[in-house]
Chain A
Amino acid sequence: MNRLTGGFGLFGARKKNVELGVQDEYQLLTVRQLMIRKFLRNRMALLSFIALVIIYLVTLFAGFFAPYTARDADSKLTYSPPMTIRLQDPETGHFHPPFFYPLRGKRNMETFQLEYVEEREKRIPVQFFVKGEPYKALGIIAWDVHLFGSSDPAERLHIMGSDVRGRDLFSRIIYGGQVSLSVGIFGVLITIAVGSVIGTLSGYYGGVFDNVVQRVIETIRSFPQLPLWMALAAAIPPQWPPEWVYAGIVVVLAFINWTGLSREVRGLVLSLKERDYVHAAEASGASTARIVRKHLIPNMASHIIVTATLAVPVTILGESALSFLGIGVRPPMVSWGLLLNDAIKIQNIVLYPWTLFPGAFILVAVIAYNFLGDGLRDMVDPFSR
């Protein structure tokens, strides 16, 4: 990156050449402009970025966007299938403001399954900014307005169906996103902190410290990732409160991830510390701290950001896999993996296929992060074609 920070620009190829009939004018672009332009040109990365911002905002204000809270149960509507929000009367074809037909459960006396039918006589309007269950926005502001919901509190609307206790799956997915998505962020923050500090130290000082660190990393990496995660997660004491378990899971996930980042940072430091400007800084009496702060970190920042972005989906998947297997976060906490745990049995997939919805959310978040990381990787190298 250093060769880029000299402040020179690039001549864009927009010179008007009369004979060749090419477009007008030269453009002088700074590196930053070039990077932004490069990122904006990567459609999938841009789209993913927007999608992620939306998903994070929705989960951040989960209370507002979710029609119910995560624990709100309705024993009359256990495993109810997704309800359709309609704009049109299916028989007459007349248009109406959004409404839905409530579901009525009937026990099938042959299979003993609860079967649901729409009650066509009753039309329940779907209301926006409806008053419902009270919640705390951002954990502090008490409020009870939800983006949308059933206008009749007695008739619940489950747009993605409900679970074994009649809790609204859509609401649970939004609340679960808080856990699933934040695990990625926190896990990666720890990864960056530990990985870059240890990587820098072992690259800069070398010697015994470096040797020991490298052996430790090799040993950790000689285990397959998921089984080691599982073994460490299982060591979290069962009697811990859910918040502690959550923190424990984040630490366990970061415990393996830092090794990869630390290795990359070490490699970068090894090559950077032999550059002329570092030697010059050393010769002019700069302290090690200053060299690291002023010369090494700025030059590694872009690389670390890209690696970190690509580590987020790995962490999200790790949490999902652990919770899916029942050794991750524990109820009453919800996460996408934990919700998907309902679909672990083949009978459930057959009877209640909507329990797979959380999987779609995992997929979207992970794909978006991967595309974003891809776009950032291209972006930090703005001179490549």
Chain B
Amino acid sequence: MTTFIIRRLLSAAVTFFLITLISFVVIQLPPGDVVSNWVRQQEASTGQPLPPETIENLRRTYGFDEPVIVQYFKWIDGFPRGDFGFSIEYSNAPVADILAQRTGLTVFLGVATLFISWGLAIPFGIFAATRKNSKWDYFLSTLSFIGISTPDFLVAVIYLFIAVFVLKTDYSGGLFSQEFKDAPWTWARVVDFAKHLPVPLAILGLGGMAGTFRIMRANLLDILDQQFIEAARAKGLRERVVIYKHATRIAINPLISRVGMQLPLLISGTIIISIVLDLPTLGPPFIRALNRQDMFLAGTVLMILAIILLIGNLIADIVLAWSDPRIQYE
């Protein structure tokens, strides 16, 4: 087990290196470099040229006079100090300051969504599988098919529509009320946060639910066909025991290995829904940065998202290896 974890960590380290490389390529992709873009914007907004020392200073800090490969190493060299470059869009603020809290909220939202969608999808999956080909089964299966076909941003827009016209709520986006937006964490802020949370969670959960539901249903149906279930019934066990103690336990296991596939969708969903609902996650600064070619910020967000994914997959792999002794890890 330990060797397995070490090997997994080593391969994750290699992937991490490749992620930083690709993120850096993304930063370099738009024509012109970050500093000259910034200088152009500054000069356009103030109407007067910047002092050459400032420009020179910035160029030196991020190594823009040097070959691309040196620039890359200068960029990753700043990581341990928490220096990811600067942002044009957010008036020169260091990227790390803009993203710190938003990263936390992104992860929180993702994890909460995962638990909610599983918490609902698994019981529904069991419900549908044990009533195969019934009206409820057809209803839920059709609904889930529509669910996996509906893109997250459409769910968000449709939800807003329902919220306004059917539920007549006053939710208008965000995770905090105006007065708590930049406040430090206090009890009142937590309460405010909790009040805003259900809508985004419901929208995000819905998308993930459909896929999990379908897999849970299919798994359970496969297992209910097997002989040990027949044997358990023949022994005279109650149906409830057969389903929950014998079948469901095994049917849930493949779902853990699916977390790895679910995570990227979850992150993509979180980003786009955050943009629609203006949630304080990594989504809004990402789209803002992309629209303005504020590439240090955009590249760093992309990198953080990939790293969240990397860590998520790592955890999922380890949990799977630990939960299923049949998995070989040499």
Q: Given A222-B18, A222-B309, verify A370-B271 contact (CB < 8 Å).
A: no
Residue among A228, A324, A356 making CB contact with B302, cutoff 8 Å = A228
In the complex, A325 Cα to B151 Cα: how many Å?
Answer: 13
Question: Which residue of B is nearest A314, CB measured?
Answer: B151
In the complex, A366 Cα to B152 Cα: how many Å?
Answer: 13
In the complex, A339 Cα to B22 Cα: how many Å?
Answer: 32
B232 to chain A, nearest CB (A): 26
Question: Would you call A243 an interface residue if the criterion is a C-beta within 8 Å of the partner chain's C-beta atoms?
Answer: no
Question: Would you call A350 an interface residue if the criterion is a C-beta within 8 Å of the partner chain's C-beta atoms?
Answer: yes
Which residues 1-37 in B have Cβ within 8 Å of A in the complex?
A: 15, 18-19, 22, 26, 29-31
A92 to chain B, nearest CB (A): 32
- Which residues of chain A are near B271, meaning CB under 8 Å? 224, 226-227, 230
Q: Binary interface profile of A, 223-244, with partner B (CB < 8 Å = 1, else 0)?
A: 1111110111111010000000
- The interface stretch among A163-171, A285-293, A340-348 is A340-348
Question: Which residue of A is nearest B17, CB measured?
Answer: A219
Question: Would you call A382 an interface residue if the criterion is a C-beta within 8 Å of the partner chain's C-beta atoms?
Answer: no
Q: Given A223-B306, A224-B309, A346-B173, verify A366-B264 contact (CB < 8 Å).
A: no
Using a Cβ–Cβ cut-off of 8 Å, how many residues does chain B contribute to the interface with A? 46
- Which residues of chain B are near A226, meaning CB under 8 Å? 268, 271-272
B177 to chain A, nearest CB (A): 16
Q: Are B153 and A324 in contact (CB under 8 A)?
A: yes
Count how many pairs of residues, one from A and one from B, have CB atoms less than 8 Å apart in the complex: 122
Q: Are B298 and A231 in contact (CB under 8 A)?
A: yes
Q: Are A366 and B151 in contact (CB under 8 A)?
A: yes
Q: Are B298 and A362 in contact (CB under 8 A)?
A: no
Using a Cβ–Cβ cut-off of 8 Å, how many residues does chain A contribute to the interface with B? 41
- Which residues of chain A are near B50, meaning CB under 8 Å? none
Which residues 48-71 in B have Cβ within 8 Å of A in the complex?
A: none
Question: Would you call B215 an interface residue if the criterion is a C-beta within 8 Å of the partner chain's C-beta atoms?
Answer: no
- Which residues of chain B are near A325, meaning CB under 8 Å? 153, 272, 275, 287
Question: Would you call B164 an interface residue if the criterion is a C-beta within 8 Å of the partner chain's C-beta atoms?
Answer: yes
In the complex, A371 Cα to B149 Cα: how many Å?
Answer: 10
In the complex, A218 Cα to B299 Cα: how many Å?
Answer: 19
- Which residues of chain B are near A234, meaning CB under 8 Å? 30, 290-291, 293, 298
Question: Would you call B209 an interface residue if the criterion is a C-beta within 8 Å of the partner chain's C-beta atoms?
Answer: no
In the complex, A222 Cα to B305 Cα: how many Å?
Answer: 10
Q: Binary interface profile of B, 122-157, with partner A (CB < 8 Å = 1, else 0)?
A: 000000000000000000000001101111011001
Which residues 207-266 in A have Cβ within 8 Å of B in the complex?
A: 215, 218-220, 222-228, 230-235, 237
Q: Are B154 and A232 in contact (CB under 8 A)?
A: no
Question: Would you call A202 an interface residue if the criterion is a C-beta within 8 Å of the partner chain's C-beta atoms?
Answer: no
Question: Which residue of A is nearest B142, CB measured?
Answer: A44
Q: Are B157 and A344 in contact (CB under 8 A)?
A: yes
Q: Are B309 and A320 in contact (CB under 8 A)?
A: no
In the complex, A231 Cα to B294 Cα: how many Å?
Answer: 11
Residue among A222, A227, A363 making CB contact with B149, cutoff 8 Å = A363
Question: Would you call A40 an interface residue if the criterion is a C-beta within 8 Å of the partner chain's C-beta atoms?
Answer: no
Q: Are B15 and A224 in contact (CB under 8 A)?
A: no
Q: Are B302 and A223 in contact (CB under 8 A)?
A: yes
Question: Which residue of B is nearest A366, CB measured?
Answer: B149
Question: Would you call A142 an interface residue if the criterion is a C-beta within 8 Å of the partner chain's C-beta atoms?
Answer: no
Residue among B173, B275, B305 making CB contact with A223, cutoff 8 Å = B305
In the complex, A104 Cα to B299 Cα: how many Å?
Answer: 50
Q: Given A320-B151, A344-B157, A370-B148, verify A231-B164 contact (CB < 8 Å).
A: no
- Which residues of chain A are near B301, meaning CB under 8 Å? 227
In the complex, A324 Cα to B272 Cα: how many Å?
Answer: 10
Question: Would you call B276 an interface residue if the criterion is a C-beta within 8 Å of the partner chain's C-beta atoms?
Answer: yes
In the complex, A228 Cα to B291 Cα: how many Å?
Answer: 14
In the complex, A226 Cα to B265 Cα: how many Å?
Answer: 8
**Other A-B pairs beyond A223-B19, A363-B150, 20, CB < 8 Å:** A222-B19, A222-B309, A223-B264, A224-B264, A224-B265, A224-B268, A231-B302, A324-B153, A325-B272, A327-B291, A346-B160, A349-B157, A349-B164, A350-B164, A359-B158, A363-B146, A366-B151, A367-B145, A370-B145, A370-B149
